[in-house]
Copies of this chain bind each other. A is one copy, B any other.
Amino acid sequence: MNTKISDKVINRLTLYHCILSDYINENIEFISSKQISQMLHIDDSQVRKDISLLNNSGKCRVGYIVKELKDSIEKTLGFNKTKKALIVGAGNLGTAIANYGNFTDYGLQILAIFDNDKQKIGKIINGIEIQDIYSLPAAAYKNEIDIAILTVPAQYAQSTADFLVDSHIKYIWNFAPKVLSVPDNVQVWNENLMGNLLQFTYNI
C-alpha cells in the first residue's frame, strides 16, 4: 500500500472482513455496501468510501464479489505477511488470547506462551506449550519473534517489559492496565480496555 490507511478505517475493514468470512461460510457470492452498512449500523456511503481505498474491490453490477473483496482486504491489511508473536503470562487473559482461534487468519502466528509458574510450565494451550519465562530470550532470538503479547498482572508489567526489552523484543502489545517505560526503539501498543469501554459508555 502506498497510502496510509487510518486506524478507524483499518478497524472497519476488519469488521467487513468478519462479515465476508460469514458470507463465504454460507456460500453467498455477492454482497452490497448497504448490507454491510446495515449490519454495522453505519452509513452506506462510509462503507463505499472505505472499500474504494482497496486496490481491487471486486465491484460488480449487484455489489461486490464476496471472495474478491475479502482477498483484497487481506492483501491491503497485510494478513498474508505473517507476524510471529509470543504470549507472556499464561493466566486467564493469556489463555483466552491463545485460544482466540482466528488470529492466524489475520497473519498473527503465536509460537509460544511463557510463564514463571512451575505449575503451568509444560501444559499445552491450543497446541502451544507453556514454557519457562527464562527460556524466552533464546526462543525469541531463534524464532525471530516480532511481537510480545503482555498479559501479566499490572504490578509485574514493568519488570516483565524490561525483561522483554533485554530480550531484544521490539514490539509489545500490552494488555496490562499500566503505562510501560521503554526505550525509544521499542514500540508499545496499549490495549487500553478501559479507554475502549469509555469511548462506548461516555454518553450512557
Contact = CB atoms under 8 A, between A and B. Distances in A.
A41 to B, nearest CB: 7
A146 B11 contact: no
A163 interface: no
Report how many copies the assembly holds.
2
B202 A196 contact: no
A106 B11 contact: no
Contacts of A179: 15, 18-19, 22, 39-40
A177 interface: yes
> In terms of DSSP, what is the predominant structure of the interface of chain A?
helix
A99 interface: yes
Contacts of A173: 197, 200
Nearest to A39: B179
Interface string A1-41: 00001010011111100110010000000000000000111
Nearest to A189: B200
7 contacts: A11-B195, A14-B192, A77-B198, A83-B204, A91-B96, A103-B194, A146-B204
